[in-house]
Amino acid sequence: MSTTNYKQNDRLPVYTATLLAGSGSSATAIDLTGTTVRFLMRDGAGTVKVDAAATVVSAEAGTVSYAWAAGDLDTVGVYSVEWQITYSGSLTLTVPAAGYDKIRVVDDIA
């Protein structure tokens, strides 16, 4: 699992990830053709901070992004993040399948 750092209230860079099936050297990109993807982020107490549509950057490469909205990164802390893929027929797949990637929001000086 990875941790990405942001300064409080920043909205750049856009958060980008490649969604993978499997693990280690056998992991392969998930083909996102025909899907929708949501970005979810929750704090350490389990409160969901972000539940919003993500952008599929490259369906074949499994690349997605989330552009931060005002208020998304306004509170210092460590957040768990995941991506929810919805296929036709409303079937869902959540990535990562085990554990979470992390976003760390650190206090800024001004």
Domain span at residue 42 reads 3-106
Measure the CA–CA gap between 64 and 37, rounded to whole angstroms: 8
What is the total count of domains within the chain? 1
CA angle 22, 28, 32 (to 5 degrees): 105
| pLDDT digits (tens), the chain, 110 positions | 789 999 999 999 999 999 999 877 888 999 999 999 999 999 999 999 999 999 999 999 999 999 999 999 999 999 999 999 999 989 999 999 889 999 999 999 97
Question: Whose structure tokens read 């350490």?
Answer: 44
Measure the CA–CA gap between 55 and 67, rounded to whole angstroms: 8
AA letter at 108: D
For residue 28, list its beta bridge partners: 21
In this structure, what CATH number is given to the domain that contains residue 54? 2.60.40.3350
